Amino acid sequence: MENVDLLTQVKKKANEWLEGDYDSQTKDQVKHLLEKDENELIDAFYKDLEFGTGGLRGVMGVGTNRMNIYTVGSATQGLSNYLHKQFSGLEQIKAVVAYDSRNNSRLFAEKTAAVLSANGIYVYLFDKLRPTPELSFAIRQLNCQAGVVITASHNPKEYNGYKVYWDDGGQIIAPHDKNIIHEVQKITSIGEVNFSGDDQKIETIGENIDREYVDRIKSLSVNPEVIQRQKDLKIVYTPIHGTGVELVPGALEAFGFKNVIHVPEQDEVNGDFPTVHSPNPEEHAALKMALEKAEQEDADLVMATDPDSDRVGIAVKNREGKLEILNGNQAASLLINYLLSQWKQKGRLTGNEYIVKTIVTTELLADIAEAHGVEYYDTLTGFKYIADKIKQLEGSKTFIAGGEESYGYLAGDFVRDKDAVISCVLLAETTAFAKDQGKSLFDQLIDIYIEHGFFKERLLSVVKHGKEGEEAIRQMMDQFRNNPPDSINGQDLMLVHDYSKKQTMDLMSHLRYNINLPKANVLQFLLKDGSKISMRPSGTEPKIKFYFSVNDTLEKREDFEKVDRRLEERIDGIIDALNIR
């Protein structure tokens, strides 16, 4: 009965598109779904796209649950209405619009600019694709009240997305995210969306913002003299067909690096991402061509950015001299350890500095910060929460850097989102500093483990598609939340952090403690041996993510492989005990 009711509801919504003010091509596609593809029809119309940790994101196509000019237009009309309510006292509300290399990104950006301008909002529209972090920079630089970037970040080619940023340059968080959705939900007809743009209120921007952005990035260099000595460091860089091709090589050159080696096939801007299965630098296959080039060139460092250049994956030579891909926790630890140690060495630490990480990111960052006398903060998953912490502490404390395990890092506070352009130049400088001391970046990582403890993490994503998948994910979370195990892999469960209840449960003392963070559907298990297991449904993809973190001491360099295997086996044991493969 439930499926019959759902199909009836879906067909009603689809027929509203046939009767509404939609273009003929869209109506033809809806007719095809009604007549030929019931399953696709349900998936396209059974719900409306909602803002998650990355904003509006979905598969491109017709329907309320798809990315198309109408869902983009409705979102922009809702945003416009909300901006007028929030900034009613301003003579002119302003916004920036940017876009990445994905199919339809320019189209969606132009529609966004048209709807904003039709609603009296002055729009700065980038002349061509640009990195997402440059949008964040431009909002603050141009004194805008909001920004929109059209991107689905590292998702497969079928996806696109729509991220909204606020006047501080950070992605929207509560209450703005829910309030914008509320405004969108008030729109009952596509006829309420004003698509008739005002060209007088749309200004094209580009190279001037690029120069200002790169100039600010150059100010982050800690040891320019080291770069000068190591200017011929061999760096292989690939944008994986994305926006990084616009600024990363130039930023590296501005820093002083003279030997940046390209992967020509992947410099091509192409929303089909023809050389990779997925343009996600978290996936090793995405770095395959860059690694092959690095082997040929005997490179010191490999870097790959995702399509909108907010994430970066890296590879360095390991103890055997072979290229090894590092995970996001390792890269964040190397970058932040370098910045803190060099700030300390140069006498720049005053006791008023801090770093930020997310709750699923390695605890090694906390240990590094404490060892340098630098405060650290935890936030919920999503770099928008790191940006919000920077906003909260602006003017009272100095932000040095932040990081999350999903390959996103930031230094300096002139951008309020993860920034792969900044990350690339600073990771290159970190590599140059290690080489200047006769070490590789991998050697530097082992040094960190010896000093602070060997932390090893792994991410396991369980994909569940469609409406049935959403229900399976919900049941999985409910099971772990309501019936946590007494022990996992032979280790007693000591603490349960339930961020949906904002409460920590001590299973030994049976005491309860409040969690001072916003509510979120995240669970964390802490075991007796210090292992940490985190689980959360993804806000941008149909999957549930499990994060595993284990640690041990590493007394000397020669023990690295032995301890590494021991930690790998511990994670394997935890996964087997949870029965989630």
What is the rounded CA–CA span in Å between residue 492 and residue 530?
10
Q: Find the Cα–Cα–Cα–Cα dihedral 551, 556, 560, 561, rounded to 10°.
A: -130
Phi, psi angle pair for 514, to nearest 5° = -80, 145
Between vectors from CA 292 to CA 287 and to CA 298, what angle results, nearest 5°? 115
Tell me if residue 153 is catalytic.
yes
The residues, any chain, with a CB within 8 Å of residue 443's CB and separated by 6 or more, are 319, 434
Write out the two tokens for 313: 């994956």
Active-site annotation holder among 101, 117, 136, 153 = 153
Task: Name the one residue in this structure whose structure tokens are 């600019």.
Answer: 113
Distances from the Cα of 338 to the Cα of 189, 246, 343, 396, angstroms:
54, 27, 8, 24
The region, left, alpha or beta by phi > 0 then psi within -120 to 50, assigned to residue 473 is alpha
- β-partners of residue 261 are 236
Task: Name the one residue in this structure whose structure tokens are 């809806």.
Answer: 30
CB 486 within 8 A of CB 519: no
The residues, any chain, with a CB within 8 Å of residue 545's CB and separated by 6 or more, are 360, 459, 460, 461, 462, 535, 536, 537, 538
Q: Tally Cβ neighbours within 10 Å of residue 406.
A: 25
Interstrand relation of 122-126 and 202-205 (parallel, antiparallel or unpaired): parallel
DSSP letters spanning 161-181: EEEEEETTSSBP-TTHHHHHH
What is the rounded CA–CA span in Å between residue 277 and residue 286?
7
The long-range contacts involving 510-517, CB below 8 angstroms and separated by at least 24 positions, are: 517/359, 517/378, 517/379, 517/380
What is the rounded CA–CA span in Å between residue 361 and residue 328?
9
What is the rounded CA–CA span in Å between residue 330 and residue 288?
20
* 557 secondary structure, DSSP code: G
Distances from the Cα of 3 to the Cα of 8, 46, 63, 328, 393, angstroms:
9, 11, 19, 42, 50
| Residues designated as active site | 153
